[in-house]
Copies of this chain bind each other. A is one copy, B any other.
């Protein structure tokens, strides 16, 4: 038989693939319990869907072992992430949304099956490589670049850095950053670091001075821009 119909992944399956992809990138392995937690479903539900994804060749799964995406599954997931991030960027740069408003909309738009739509977005934006939160946009083949920024919590007093990405893009964190006028591209100079609680005092936008807790610093990914009194 030649014309066996290959069924498209449903919206539900796509959300599972994306969750597996994102969890694997953060933590390496993916347990059923993490997956279930991420998607806010029960463990039996996640367990059952993983079996379904295995049948369609998107992941490999053995009882009591962590779930592993196949190359096919990885590519499927990366292309959904691509649509998600292109959408977020389009909403911010072409439609005037704030970076804290776009994730929920993109969570729905990413499931639209219309490559022309996303290609046109891409073209209109001049082929951006990162989304509004600094995360890389996979290419059309599903390849994703590893930007490996450092966390601000690793920076030392005297260093100058540029805020390049976030490891948490929750609305609450984005609103916190808005309230401090912290946007991607902001140059930060590390004034001092408190040994007791690892909080950092930074100087940015030529005038402001701000104390950032360790919790916040861990979520801010930076490029080291210039260094004073540094061992390098």
* Interface size in chain A (residues, C-beta < 8 A): 18
Taking the full assembly, how many copies of this chain does it contain? 2
Question: Any chain B CB within 8 A of the CB of A195?
Answer: no
Question: Any chain B CB within 8 A of the CB of A228?
Answer: no
Within 8 Å by CB of A116, from B101, B114, B121, lies: B101
Question: Any chain B CB within 8 A of the CB of A226?
Answer: no
A113's nearest neighbour on chain B, judged by CB, is B108
Question: Any chain B CB within 8 A of the CB of A97?
Answer: yes
Question: Any chain B CB within 8 A of the CB of A105?
Answer: yes
Contacts of A112 in B (CB 8 A): 105, 108-109
Which of A97, A113, A117 counts the most B-chain CB atoms under 10 A from its CB? A117
Question: Any chain B CB within 8 A of the CB of A39?
Answer: no
Question: Any chain B CB within 8 A of the CB of A126?
Answer: no
Question: Any chain B CB within 8 A of the CB of A120?
Answer: yes
A112's nearest neighbour on chain B, judged by CB, is B108
Question: Any chain B CB within 8 A of the CB of A5?
Answer: no
Question: Any chain B CB within 8 A of the CB of A95?
Answer: yes
B120 lies within 8 A of A114 (CB) = no
Contacts of A121 in B (CB 8 A): 95
B114 lies within 8 A of A95 (CB) = no
A121–B112 CA distance with the chains assembled, in angstroms: 18
Q: Which of A91-150 contact B (CB under 8 A)?
A: 91, 94-97, 101, 104-105, 108-109, 112-114, 116-117, 120-121, 124
Contacts of A109 in B (CB 8 A): 109, 112
A114 lies within 8 A of B124 (CB) = no
Within 8 Å by CB of A96, from B95, B104, B113, B120, lies: B120
A114's nearest neighbour on chain B, judged by CB, is B105
A95–B87 CA distance with the chains assembled, in angstroms: 13
Within 8 Å by CB of A105, from B94, B96, B108, B117, lies: B117
A45–B154 CA distance with the chains assembled, in angstroms: 60
Min C-beta distance of A134 to chain B, whole Å: 23
Known interface pairs A95-B121, A105-B112, A109-B112; 8 further A-B residue pairs with C-beta atoms within 8 A, sorted by A's residue number = A94-B94, A95-B117, A96-B120, A97-B116, A101-B116, A105-B114, A108-B112, A108-B113
